[in-house]
Amino acid sequence: MLRTVLLLFASNIFMTMAWYGHLRFKSTPLIVAILGSWMLALPEYALQVPANRLGYGQLSAYQLKILQECITLIVFMVFAWLALGEVPTFRHFVSFALILAAVAVAFR
């Protein structure tokens, strides 16, 4: 399961960069942002598919999806903080804690 988690983290780093990285470069033409995002999406899929293949069986599809969403939020929070300079607020931490609680429920 560790390989699945590591692949999901790597996949989500690419996904977050593809979806939100262009926000740092608002003067870049939209078509360039779209093409750059698509280029980042390929490695994201190349990591996501094996993560799901490796994890399925050890985890249910529901557990894989819930785990993936939790990892997405962790990666996004770090990205938004470091790359976009958006400091998370108390409400954000409470929201993430509730999602982590959902992960705990799904894995029990």
Please report, in tens digits, the pLDDT of each residue of the chain (108 residues total). Answer: 899 999 999 999 999 999 998 888 889 999 999 999 999 899 999 999 999 999 999 999 998 988 898 899 889 999 999 999 999 999 999 998 898 888 888 888
Whole-angstrom Cα distance, residue 2 to residue 4? 5
pTM attached to this predicted model? 0.82
Instruction: Tell me the residue range of the domain where 23 lies.
Output: 2-106
Tens of pLDDT, residues 65-80: 888 988 998 899 999 9
Which CA distances in Å does 80 have to 17, 23, 56, 71, 105?
A: 10, 10, 30, 14, 27
| Segment 30-43, tens digit of pLDDT | 999 999 999 989 99
The structural domain count of the chain equals: 1
